Structure 1
Amino acid sequence: MSIYVGNLSYEVNQEDLNEVFTEYGTVKRVHIPTDRETGRVRGFAFVEMESEADEDKAIEALDGAEWMNRSLKVNKARPRENRSSFGGGGRRNNRF
């Protein structure tokens, strides 16, 4: 499982997040999504920790905490939705 970390500063980097979350246990991975076009940080990240107990400690301590002049939103990450690239509603043979 992983942790969703929202309302992050656009100046945040992996080392910053690793440092903060290491206080609550072993961090396995930090992923900070960036905008495809601009390369700019999107304001949220995902952190994977060694154990669920470590994740729970981090969530309890950091959700709502003030960090880098922002109030963090920290919770269990929801599973990624399976999005199909074949969206509905298109025309087929000039018919709806």
Structure 2
Amino acid sequence: MNIFVAKLNFKTRKEELEAAFTPYGAVSSAKIVRDKETGRSKGYGFVEMPNDSEALQAIASLNEKELDGREIVVKPANPKTAETASY
């Protein structure tokens, strides 16, 4: 399951994001979205967890919890459509 994580601290690294999810199960990837020109975090990212039940538990447990001093928003990611994939 692909999980959307928003309101991240701009200093949060992908390793810290992954570490927040690993207590709930296997994490296949973690990514923080960065500005193409500056390389600065845009404050959101994605975590991929292969087991849906573990992913749902992580979402329920981590949504509106603090990570690196910020209350994060965690929810299932919307699948890419033809409109959102063209950039």
The answer to whether TM tops 0.5 is: yes
Residues 42-76 of structure 1 show CA distances to partners (whole Å, capped at 9, x for unaligned) of 10010001200111010000001012111110000
Report deviation, 1:81: 3.0
Q: Distance in 1 between matches of 2:66 and 2:32?
A: 19
Report deviation, 1:80: 1.6
Count of residues in correspondence between the two structures? 85
Q: Distance in 2 between matches of 1:33 and 1:81?
A: 18
Q: CA RMSD in A?
A: 1.4
Instruction: Summarize the alignment of residues 59-78 of structure 1 with structure 2, pairs less than 5 Å apart.
Output: 59-78=59-78
Other-structure match for 2:49 = 49
Other-structure match for 1:89 = none
SS at match of 2:24: coil
Identity %: 36
Which has the larger Rg?
1
More strand by share: 2
Structure with greater contact order relative to length (CA < 8 Å, sep ≥ 6): 2
SS at match of 2:33: coil
Segments of 5+ residues of structure 2 without an aligned counterpart are none
Residues 6-55 of structure 1 show CA distances to partners (whole Å, capped at 9, x for unaligned) of 00000011110111100100000111111011010110010001200111
> Given residue 7 of structure 2, which amino acid in structure 1 is its aligned partner?
N
| TM-score (norm. length: structure 1) | 0.82
More helix by share: 2
Segments of 5+ residues of structure 1 without an aligned counterpart are 86-96
